[in-house]
Amino acid sequence: MNVANLQLEGLMMAFASINNVLVHKGLLSIDDIDTALRKVEASITGDERTFEDMSPANRDAICFPIRLLQIANNAQGESDVPSFSELAKMVGRTKEPYNDQI
């Protein structure tokens, strides 16, 4: 596996863990984090460059970390975040086609 992929995996899990702590300390709610992640995904997918210049696979690659963090946020337990492989599978199961793929 590419080292950069492993670094990104670690970074995503670090953010998921930080989000979990923020929620459990009462600093942010699950809804606050979900809203922020939905806004950034909408901003990225609404960008003209993203739809005109990128394949659906590249769009999914850009959105993958955001979607993984959304799922981690919504699936968090009392203190743990699901594993990366578990979260990645959930992202794949919940992916919907883009408007230009319908």
Kindly tell me if the per-residue pLDDT of 100 is higher than 60.
Answer: no
Alpha helices in the chain (DSSP H): 3-24, 30-45, 48-53, 56-75, 84-94
Question: How high is the pLDDT of residue 91?
Answer: 92
Q: Is 0.75 surpassed by the pTM of this model?
A: yes
Model confidence at 27, pLDDT cuts 50, 70, 90, reads: very high
| Predicted confidence (pLDDT) per residue in 35-94, tens digit | 999 999 998 888 877 677 888 888 888 899 999 999 999 987 666 788 899 999 999 888
Tokens for 54, please give them.
């990128």
Confidence of residue 14 (pLDDT cuts 50, 70, 90): very high
3 state DSSP class of 54: coil
